[in-house]
Copies of this chain bind each other. A is one copy, B any other.
Amino acid sequence: MKITAQEEYGLRCLLQLAQADPESGLPVKEIASREGLSPAYVEKLLRLMGKAGLIHSIRGVHGGYRLTRKPTEISLGDVVRALSSLPSTEEICDRHTGNLEHCVHMSDCSIRSAWTTLTEAVGRFMEQVFIADLIGPERTVAKRLHARIETPFQV
């Protein structure tokens, strides 16, 4: 259970766009150099987010990428879904069938309860956090997230 490379780098690229002038857009090269990534890789990440409708591009000399929506209207969940996927219980059950066609625990699976509980909580978090919330100094952002989502997983 980890944050994947695509999720991490894709989010960073999107955040660059969110912080750039919304009128002019940002060229791939510029994003790549700001993040220390190869332009080819940044293209690929932007492509994924473009397919998901989060960004669009303008070709030609003064081209570049821009957000299609405001940073207040793009959730962390939107971004992660574009780049890989949020964990979903169905996916786990469908993919992890071992050597058989169906999972042996199909009808009654206690592990499913655990993943569902976890998965739903992670999903809720990701839908409540917006790109706009992630702009600013680290401390400020941390406070903002904690204020928004009080006592996550309270005991």
Which A positions have Cβ atoms within 8 angstroms of B? Answer: 1-5, 7-9, 11-12, 15, 34-38, 76, 80, 84-87, 91-92, 95-100, 103-105, 108-118, 120-122, 124-126, 128-129, 134-142, 145-146, 149-155
Enumerate chain B residues within 8 angstroms of A117, measured Cβ to Cβ.
Answer: 125, 142, 145-146, 149, 152
Picked from B36, B100, B115, B136, the residue with its CB within 8 Å of the CB of A104 is B36
A118 touches B110 (CB 8 A): no
**A116 partner residues in chain B, CB cutoff 8 A:** 142
Supposing A116-B142, A117-B146, A129-B114 touch, asked if A99 and B37 sit within 8 A by C-beta, the answer is: yes
> In the complex, A9 Cα to B108 Cα: how many Å?
16
A7–B115 CA distance with the chains assembled, in angstroms: 11
Q: Residue among A37, A100, A120, A139 with the most chain B CB within 10 A? A: A37
| Interface pair B154/A154, CB less than 8 Å apart | yes
